[in-house]
Amino acid sequence: MLTDYGAGVGRWDDWQKGYRFGVFLILPPDPPLAQVNALRAQHDPRSQSICGAHISLTIPLPTPLSKAHWSELESIASNAQPFLIHYGPLMNYLPHPGVCLAIEPQYELDRLRVALETASVFEGAPARTHPFSAHMTIAESISTERTESLMAELADVAPKGTFACTGVSYAVPDSSFHFTERRRLELAH
């Protein structure tokens, strides 16, 4: 086992328990990391306290990650080529409230996600409940009305740009349900 799982799980909400063994994310570098974290801290501090700026990639792992699993995932990642990620402009998924940054190329991200989710550690995982749509959340714990006003408020100041995706982060929640990177899978060089 590559990490200590379960500390604090008894105090977590039911939906949080599904993330006990972690998840794979793309963590942006600075400056988008700092820019999006500042917006998250201002407009959705609860979500920011759970995880900093990120792009969710895989479903949560259903079992602990072993050394054999990690080797398999390293092999998968080493066959994926790095690519540029474009972030921005703002978008939302109304009628579901929340504001996020659009992320492209969806095709490359989905291809990477599908490849990682073929690893044996994902065997027996519950099916994805929503279609995959890569995005970087700014605020999700808000009302529909706040979604509309925040879209207008941030229209001219939301960050836009590109960064190179050269790896994928394995993030696991601590006892306070705050996700931190525990390891990183590097894509092909």
Which neighbouring-strand residues pair with 162?
86
Q: What is the pLDDT of residue 2?
A: 58
Which CATH number does 9-174 carry? 3.90.1140.10
As a three-state string, the secondary structure of 22-79 is CEEEECCCCCHHHHHHHHHHHHCHHHHHHCCCCEECCCCCCCCCCHHHHHHHHHHHHC
Sign of the CA dihedral 168, 52, 98, 130?
positive
Residue 45 pLDDT exceeds 70: yes
Cβ atoms of 90 and 158 within 8 Å: the answer is yes
CA pair distance 81, 112, nearest whole angstrom: 9
pLDDT digits (tens, 9 = 90+) for 102-158: 999 999 999 999 999 999 999 999 888 888 999 999 999 899 999 999 999 999 999
In this predicted structure, what is the pLDDT of residue 3?
61
The domain spans of the chain are 9-174
pLDDT at 4: 62
Query: How many CB atoms lie under 10 A from the CB of residue 70?
Result: 16
Lookup: tokens for 123: 């065997």
Segment 68-108, tens digit of pLDDT = 999 999 999 999 999 999 999 999 998 889 999 999 999 99
